Amino acid sequence: MALSGAGFSGRSQNNGMVFIKLKDWSLRDRSDLKAKAIAGRATMALSHIRNAMVFVFQPPAVPELGMSMGFDFELLDRGGLGHQALMDAQYQLLGITAKDPRVTKVRPNSMADVPEYRIDVDWEKAGALGVPITSIHRTISAVFGSAYVNDFIQGGRIKRVFVQADAPYRMLPRDLEKLYVRNTVGKMVPFSSFATGRWTSGSPQLNRFNGFPSINIWGEPAPGRSSGEAMQAMADAVEKLPNGIGYTWTGLSYQEVMSSSQAPLLYAFSIFVIFLCLAALYESWTIPIAVLLVLPLGAIGGVIASSIRELANDVYFQIALLTTLGLATKNAILIVQFAKDGLESGMGLIDAALEGAKLRFRPIIMTSLAFGFGVLPLALSTGAGAGAQNAIGTGVLGGMVSATVLVVIFAPLFYVLVEKIFGKKGRHESAEIPGVNPSEDR
């Protein structure tokens, strides 16, 4: 579907956009037939057009949060430098980003300055001639545009009456000299007696964002780069612009910034909740430390698997990482619980840790295999929504592998270290009390 005279940046005679519907997923089973690959090739092919600037991009991942894939950036004139300074800053920003390997397809989502005919009214002369401001504006609007004046009835139907200058008399700037404006005493005053005109240039739009003059800029991360790197590249570029020029994010980019700032707090709160649950389970403040030490072991596999498949650190990966933390904790809990029971029954510390790992090895392998095969379809899925499924499935599958292999090895080691560091004093104090087993955990 093609639209002429209109685009995302506004309406004008030299604007247009085309919506392209791709063939079904079953007919595009190769990587070079995916939407991103097709958009990249189309952009390269259409960039050779000398008389137009053509960009091909995908729609946003979440509808109603922007109009294109990539980042949504607002360049702001915070210092009141004026329109020309803002335009100069835009051109400087585009020049900087064109040399940055972290971003691509950086383009303004706005309309360029166009020729304008500016009318300068001498308000002192107009006041001396008794011509009010409203009459001047109303006359120009009616002659070159149109004005509704009345209704009339024809054939039983009510029709509206509009007045406007005939086409030959509203085509050129000199036609303004033929206008007359009625003053306060009812006389007609020539327009040329109190106004002059001149050619200039200016923006066809009045863009504001948060009250500041703004220019909306779109762009995408370069191949192999994440959206976070691209957004950081834009922030670095703005630092090289003149003082008074700022920026902000909107659409999906704004949501990404907000979610990124909340991710550390989310992880910290998750670990804190796990610690409290384990403290209640073991009735100890020290044993949960052995379980929490295995959390990075699951994250290692998720990071490695996502890096191999060149997946970004997005919200889907963060969900997968939280799931992996739970899986690694579950495996460590099984080993530590049986090691603790063995220690309380009179076994040595190292022997109890090894026995716990042996007893729970088969259940850990069975549950990990079941969980791994459960998320394998997500990691290998294709078709609509495959990007989100691959991100979650890959992160969870990689984390599951490392959480299974490494936790079985390191969980007993962490338990022994924690018991030697924090549990030794408790056992010695218990040994001094008659009737209390020295190896019994407090």
Q: Which CATH number does the domain housing residue 156 bear?
A: 3.30.2090.10
pLDDT at 424: 52
Residue 21 DSSP code: P
The answer to the question of residue 394 being in a domain is yes
> Cα(125)–Cα(258) distance, rounded to whole angstroms?
56
The answer to the question of residue 254 being in a domain is no
Q: For residues 403 and 298, is the Cβ–Cβ distance under 8 A?
A: yes
Of the CA atoms within 13 Å of residue 372, those in its CB half-sphere come to 18
Residues 99 and 67 occupy one common structural domain: yes
pLDDT at 67: 66
The answer to the question of residue 297 being in a domain is yes
**Phi, psi of 340, rounded to the nearest 5 degrees:** -65, -40
The answer to the question of residue 290 being in a domain is yes
Residues 198 and 224 occupy one common structural domain: no
Q: Which CATH number does the domain housing residue 67 bear?
A: 3.30.70.1440
pLDDT at 64: 63
Q: Which of 316, 326, 321 is nearest to 301 (CA)?
A: 321
Residues 136 and 58 occupy one common structural domain: no
The answer to the question of residue 256 being in a domain is no
Which of 189, 220, 249 terminates a domain? The answer is: 249
The answer to the question of residue 441 being in a domain is no
Residue 99's domain comprises 2-113+206-249
Of the CA atoms within 13 Å of residue 270, those in its CB half-sphere come to 16
Block means of pLDDT (10 residues each) for the chain, 442 residues, are 80 84 83 82 86 82 68 88 89 90 86 85 91 90 90 90 90 88 91 90 83 88 81 90 89 79 78 84 81 83 84 78 83 82 81 82 85 85 77 87 84 83 54 42 40
Residues 84 and 213 occupy one common structural domain: yes
Residues 341 and 393 occupy one common structural domain: yes
Residues 55 and 150 occupy one common structural domain: no
Residues 58 and 137 occupy one common structural domain: no
The answer to the question of residue 310 being in a domain is yes
The answer to the question of residue 357 being in a domain is yes
> Cα(307)–Cα(399) distance, rounded to whole angstroms?
12
Residues 268 and 129 occupy one common structural domain: no
pLDDT at 409: 84
Burial of 346 (0-12, 13-18, 19+ CB in 10 A): exposed
pLDDT at 434: 41
How many other CB atoms are found less than 10 A from the CB of residue 33?
13
Domain count, the chain: 3
Which residues share a beta bridge with 284? Answer: none
pLDDT at 431: 39
Q: Which CATH number does the domain housing residue 361 bear?
A: 1.20.1640.10
Spell out a b/e string for 249-280, using b for 16 or more CB atoms within 10 Å of the CB, else e. Answer: bbbbbbbbeeebeeeeeebeebeeebeeebee
What is the helix (H) or strand (E) element at residue 357, kind and residue range? helix 349-359
